[in-house]
Structure 1
């Protein structure tokens, strides 16, 4: 995104995972490739307090001692934590009970509300199979160097990986029902940095680095043979201060805390607590207000004529959103 944080990952077959953050840069929402959404809530000290799923179920709940040490973690139905004892019974804050049972040394079962998830491991402790309550199955295969080489899912998707120079990924092939649907390959320099990367789309990247190992040039040749060259300049703190793309320069500026305050004609303003307060682009200004828990309560988009759009958020005491009002139209959220 505009602050340099990962916002979306896309697999060759089109599956996407998305990520959202609060103004302090902490992850607040994650949507998996399977479409599952998880929300993270933090306490007033910025520590992870709770993780919930899209239905409002508490997946993980944490409490802390005086020295910020986690003293209690209650796991829900989707956490793939391998227990170290034969059997563990955990009751989370919603009253749901999960039973963790070790099956010898090579498998565990997680049973919650009659739903069973089974994980199987090989002799070296690597995960080799996951059987989900809905009947889906994930298989993982490794080579003699303990590198993951094959991933298979029940819907016919398969990924085959090859390696060079130890653990550098040299290539991946993607299959659906045994038909090749895409591939990628990579070449590395002696320092282990990728210098050539070919994507499933056919696009080819060639990377060059400066003496400090920072990316200096990215030359992209697309499948239609068009070429785009992007170069980067850095300050002494390794912040990118300029991006030149085919001769067009975009400059970036940072404050004393290394926070991005300007990129091209877009400026960012933060308060003393590090919360993003304003984004200004030309005549457009977006402002943000927060409550005492650092949750966004109001967003207003304006131009020189005045306010154009406004969004108001209301939250429940547990941090879940209760209502969102966009330009006077309110959407209410009810959690089970």
Structure 2
């Protein structure tokens, strides 16, 4: 494949149109490997690091070893549904087992063996997840209605419940004793959200279903106007107005922000692009001109502006440094050090420690549960702890100064409360 600026990427195939090699314009090779059943069994990246995939006789993935050496194992029931995930080397006491559709398997560890993070899944006969238990004792349970829609998701930290209308749209979500409710138009667009404290968020749309307005308690917060291609050309937020212009390729070329009252410009930026479509230039009303340069693989290498930066990459594309001479090191896509900062990871790839300063005396440590969720951050000044709901959303942050509680609207943060301070966040629908 040769792009519009003459750079060629080559592909080699084997068998039935299976990609064997990809050779990029810089001549670097990424390789693919398969078994006789055409399952992908391995990858080799531009650094020579390998990724391995192993399957059982039913072609279920039972083991993978990442570029960084992270080893994961999977077990299934007779229906081919996942019932166990082992995040680390398999211990001798944990051998593959077969279970019925509603069974789980157990893990026994000897006292001298390290704890290997394990997640077990219990399912009903339809394959719906009923219970998830991790080896550190965290248990999440789930319930469904007759249509298979999630109605409850509970763990030790928070209870969740969900209600739907006749066509399956979510109308209520309760998080402990706080309930968020939603209303919709005949096309299924969400038109209203009522918060636990009684505040109301309302949305409006174009006939094509594109968002135009959001209001809080009847007060217009944001109003959007679009061109005939649906692109945003104007946005009004209180006394602030933003304008957007595009080129024939649909790329943003100008962005202006000003006061509707004084007509004074607050922000003005113009954007230019190279022949490959990369951002090449920003002209800013206040910061002046910034230029961007890229290598043959479209990786950012130089930024010339108020602050001058340059970036070095390893063959796999990982950024190693922000100077002309590489001063960073990565392995398996994990950054080991950069400048005076040194990083340590656990076997699952989670960052566990960052040392910086003279002789690495400034240390920040990170602790994770067996679901790889960050639960503690420690440094010289304080310790911060976090908890999560059954859907993996962070619901609390506790430090030496107090506790913050989080409330969610689907997958986006709706509000946070800390003592007498309450913040609500609004998003486009």
Bucket of the pairwise TM-score, normalised by the shorter protein = 0.5 to 0.7
- Give yes or no for the alignment of 1:237 onto 2:305: no
- Give yes or no for the alignment of 1:93 onto 2:130: no
What count of residue pairs does the alignment treat as equivalent? 252
**Residue equivalent to 2:167:** 124
How far apart, in 2, do the equivalents of 1:268 and 1:43 lie? 29
Change (3 A) 1:194 1:121: same
Change (3 A) 1:267 1:115: closer
Q: What are the equivalent positions in structure 2 for 1:1-336 lying under 5 Å apart?
A: 44-45=66-67, 85=126, 88-94=129-135, 95-105=137-147, 108-113=151-156, 115-132=158-175, 134-175=176-217, 180=219, 183-200=221-238, 202-222=239-259, 225-227=263-265, 228-246=267-285, 248-264=288-304, 265-280=308-323, 287-290=327-330, 292-300=331-339, 310-327=340-357, 328-335=361-368
1:43 is displaced (CA, Å) by 6.6
1:161 is displaced (CA, Å) by 0.8
More strand by share: 1
TM-score w.r.t. length of structure 2: 0.51
Structure 1: gaps (5+ residues):
1-41, 51-60, 75-82, 301-309
How far apart, in 1, do the equivalents of 2:125 and 2:221 lie? 38
TM-score w.r.t. length of structure 1: 0.64
Change (3 A) 1:165 1:312: same
Asked whether the 8 Å contact 2:312–2:326 carries over to 1, the reply is: no
Higher relative contact order (CA 8 A, sep 6+): 2
Structure 2: gaps (5+ residues):
1-63, 86-123, 370-429
How far apart, in 1, do the equivalents of 2:75 and 2:302 lie? 37
Q: CA RMSD in A?
A: 3.5
Asked whether the 8 Å contact 2:321–2:338 carries over to 1, the reply is: no
Asked whether the 8 Å contact 1:267–1:280 carries over to 2, the reply is: yes
How far apart, in 1, do the equivalents of 2:125 and 2:230 lie? 35
Question: Computing the radius of gyration over CA atoms, which structure comes out larger, 1 or 2?
Answer: 2
* Worse overlay, 107-116 or 142-151: 107-116
How far apart, in 1, do the equivalents of 2:150 and 2:320 lie? 49
